[in-house]
Amino acid sequence: VKGDDVITTLARSFNGMADSLQSQIKELADLSEVQQRFVSDVSHELRTPLTTIRLAGDMLYDQRSGFPPATGRTAELLHAQVERFELLLADLLEISKYDAGSVELEAEPTNLVHLAADAVEGLRSLAESKGTRLNLVAPGGHLDAEVDPRRIRRIMHNLIGNAIEHGEGKPVIVSVDSNETAVALSVRDYGLGMSQVDVNHVFDRFWRADPSRKRTIGGTGLGLSISLEDATVHRGWLQVWSSPGKGSCFRLTLPRTARGEIASSPSPLPP
Ligand code: ADP
């Protein structure tokens, strides 16, 4: 009888704990829903005034040669900051879509060699402005996978852009490999690199390596977190190897078919 009492008491207290845990989880879910809606609403609300500021800023920027030098520089600053604001807003909207679970993958057979080549060409002038040689190492012909080309293009643009920005003018190599189950797109640079602590945070939202870099290189700190979401929604992997002073390698591995599984990666990360 004593044993039964103990069990009944235990069962009651477990029930009580389960109930309170459930209500806490619900509270948390409600909070995160409120937060998601807030980010999405704020981003939408900011778009309209920003468009007006953009138009006024463009007008001043176009006329800057007629202004006294200090005013001209202010017009340039305004122009650059409005552009940054627009990028930030676009990134925030994208993140809020992922948080709300409302991202639809528009997968179609895509030639990843062409996609990588287009990304390289699109960033060639940025690379040249930094004295960076941009190389593509890819098999000839077709290498098709079922992916959402817009999202994969965005990842490649982000990874190659980062490699150029942090590459200190050293060469950047973009490579494409494949096996039966997967395709890998790698971006290797020989620049600044990162410590292990930095690597652990590199996909965190708004995270950027040490403050001295924040001042010299402009960005939102959201690029890699969106790239990771883009990779994950494809059931793919986004991995990084990095070493201070030796550079970094980011590798995107994607299943060849939209519902496929990756058995192994087609190419190794640097040792
Ligand atoms: P952003 O480029 O807007 O700062 P990202 O999310 O793309 O945001 O990158 C976050 C941070 O990761 C960068 O600010 C930088 O400190 C670090 N990082 C990204 N790519 C590289 C790279 N190839 N080499 C060194 N550091 C990098």
Contact 138, 186 (CB under 8 A): no
Burial class (CB in 10 A: 0-12, 13-18, 19+), 8: exposed
Beta-strand ranges (E) seen in 51-122 are 108-111
Which SS3 state, helix, strand or coil, does residue 63 take? coil
Question: What is each CA distance from 225 to 159, 208, 232, in whole angstroms?
Answer: 12, 11, 11
pLDDT at 216: 53
> What sign does the CA torsion over 116, 122, 123, 128 have?
positive
Q: Which of 198, 224, 241 to mutate to test ligand 1, by most ligand atoms within 8 A of the CB atom?
A: 224
The whole model's pTM is what?
Answer: 0.84
Q: What is the pLDDT of residue 230?
A: 97
User: What pLDDT is stored for residue 218 in this prediction?
Assistant: 62
Residue 270 tokens, joined = 């640097």
Supply the pLDDT for residue 11: 82
| Separation between Cα atoms, residue 163 and residue 248, nearest integer Å | 8
Please indicate whether residue 255, judged by its CB atom, sits closer than 6 Å to ligand 1.
no
Give the atom of ligand 1 at the shortest distance from the alpha carbon of 250: 23
Cβ of 194 closer than 6 Å to ligand 1, yes or no, is yes
Cα–Cα distance between 66 and 72 in angstroms, integer? 8
pLDDT along the chain (271 residues), means of 10: 76 82 80 82 86 91 93 91 88 89 92 96 96 94 92 97 96 96 97 95 88 60 95 96 97 93 88 84
Ligand 1 binding pocket includes 158 (Cβ within 6 Å): yes
What is this model's ipTM?
A: 0.98
Residue bearing the CA closest to ligand 1, atom 14: 208
Separation CA 16–CA 65 (nearest Å): 72
Identify the pLDDT of residue 237. Answer: 96
Is any atom of ligand 1 closer than 6 Å to the C-beta of 202? yes
Structure tokens at 100: 């709300």
Ligand 1 pocket residue status of 229, Cβ below 6 Å: no
Are 190 and 60 a contacting pair, CB within 8 Å? no
